[in-house]
Amino acid sequence: MRLYVGGLPYQTDEQELREVFGQIGVVTFATVITDRDTGRSKGFGFVEFEDDEQARAAIEQLNGSTLGTRTITVNEARERPAGGRGGYQDRRSQGGYRDRRY
DNA sequence: AATGAGCGA
């Protein structure tokens, strides 16, 4: 289950995400979104847990917590829209996203 | 160098 992690300090990197979320469960994937041109962090990222309940536990425990100076936001990541230039991770059935629109 | 809600090259 992927988690959206927002409100990160601009200095935070995926390594730190792994540390923090790794305290809750097994992190199978973590990334901090950086601006492709400037390389600066956009202040948010994604984390995936090997187990859904760990992810939920992470949401409860880490959402609203503070990382450094900022208060971070943690909740279930949205599904990336299919189609488009391809090159995305496989969108597996995560149930409940069928008609999500935004 | 700086920015501050956001859902990703």
- A4-35 in b/e burial notation, b at 16+ Cβ within 10 A? ebbbbeeebebebbeebbeebbebeebebebe
Percentage of residues of chain A with pLDDT beyond 90? 71
- Residue whose CA lies closest to nucleotide B9 C1': A36
pLDDT at residue number A32: 96
Summarised one tens digit per residue, pLDDT across range A68-102 is 999 999 999 986 665 554 444 544 444 444 444 43
Q: Is the CB of A67 under 7 A from strand B?
A: no
Nucleotide nearest to A85 (CA to C1'): B9
Instruction: Confirm whether any atom of chain B, the nucleic acid strand, is less than 7 Å from CB of A75.
Output: yes
Residue A15 predicted with pLDDT over 90? yes
Percent of chain A with pLDDT over 70: 76
Ranges of H-type helices in chain A: 14-22, 52-62
Mean pLDDT rounded to a whole number for chain A = 84
Answer with the residue of higher pLDDT: A23 or A101.
A23
User: Mean of the pLDDT values across residues A31-52?
Assistant: 94
